[in-house]
Amino acid sequence: MRKIDTVPPYLLGLRLTGRRVVVVGGGRVAQRRVPSLVAAGADLMLVSPEVTPSLEDLITGGQVRWERRPYATGDCAGAWLVQACTDDPKVNAAVAAEADERQTWCVRADDAEASAAWTPATALVGETSVGVLAGGDPRRAAGIRDAVADGLRDASIESRHSRHKPVGVALVGGGPGDPGLITVRGRRLLALADVVVTDRLAPRLLLDELANDVEVIDAAKIPYGRSATQERINELLVEHARQGRFVVRLKGGDPFVFGRGAEEVLHCARHGVPVTVVPGITSAVAVPSAAGIPVTHRGVSQEFHVVSAHLAPDASGSTVDWAALGRSRGTLILLMAVERMTLIAAALMRYGRSPDTPVAVIQDGTLPGQRALTATLDTVVDEMTAQDVRPPAIVVVGDVVDVAREVDLMRADMGQGP
């Protein structure tokens, strides 16, 4: 085998918007290459007798033009870039030869040595593009690419004092509790913060990763205990942002799901402070999932309702239609319901839910101390009292609870752990 030329390649970022690109081949290699070419805005023509389902989806959507036939001489005409991706070396060689004759760069997927150009292992992190070539070794290139991209995502290789540092406020959903469940973008912005205003339910372990000079402000809202008013939290965001500091408002779950995130955005907007909203994984869905409970299941439940139960069903300020929820057969996911489950269970049964309806209660979901109990609508309050359930806990009402039980029984029969 001949050794690949040791002369280093010249790296170049191609701006392909509106420019003709030809891909020959419709298999797995093309399936990997085509989406990035589409994302780059290329006027893309695909030549192949057959294509994978994923490529067909792009074709049907009008993002790729498909010539449903084998490669023919002349297909490279007018192209700025050609990719030879068939599983036939002779066809790839012919495509490369035509492209070379037309002075068009061509990437041969099957033979790095014979290829006029190489496709780097790439990643896009925010506005930063990462491209890595490793002497024709794609696995090594991918490994280096991943390491660099991870460093950019968690900001471990980007200074908080960089000229690309964000401004204003970032409203970041931290997820249901497990620090590994924050989004990549949320973690990156958190690492760039000058000030972090954090909630009680935000992933606390993430705070240990912050630099020593980051100011952490505890804005906890502890049920029946100490809490910062929402008005004061709003003021803090604007005060620090106006001092030129990048502020991350770190919340549990998703900031727009019972998180008062929109109130904070509105307050910042009124004072001219830019806000970036980073969605988070809501505990309403993630915590039941962590306990093995699907919120929907074919043939069981085609709908689910997420309810804030911080007000009792008969409270004058409640906007929840408990009568409709009682009549519904969909899954109910109740947040902030621990202190009011006696009234809630009674209301649901009064409005039509069967006393035998399965119920699950998950405390400290996704965290090491997660624990769950199962009961029925008429026994759940007694079970919660017996097991001393405390907030934060999520209550799931509906037949989907039995799906998790069925899975557990199957695992037990097969000698598998939970």
Rg (CA), the chain: 28
- Is 199 designated active site? yes
Taking the C-alpha atoms of residue 135 and residue 3, their distance in angstroms, rounded to an integer, is: 11
3-class secondary structure per residue, 336-402: CCHHHHHHHHHHHHHCCCCCCCEEEEEECCCCCCCEEEEEECCCHHHHHHHCCCCCCEEEEECCHHH
Which DSSP state fits 78? T
Catalytic residue among 75, 110, 194, 199: 199
Q: Is 1 exposed, middle or buried (0-12, 13-18, 19+ CB in 10 A)?
A: exposed
Tokens at 296, concatenated: 């929907």
In the chain, helix, strand, coil percent, each to 5? 35, 20, 45
Which DSSP state fits 279? -
Where are the extended beta strands (E) located within 92-179? 105-108, 121-125, 128-132, 169-173
Taking the C-alpha atoms of residue 184 and residue 300, their distance in angstroms, rounded to an integer, is: 34
Catalytic residue among 146, 154, 165, 221: 221
Torsion angles phi and psi, residue 98, rounded to 5: -65, -45
- Is 3 designated active site? no
Tokens at 400, concatenated: 């989907």
What residues are labeled active site? 199, 221
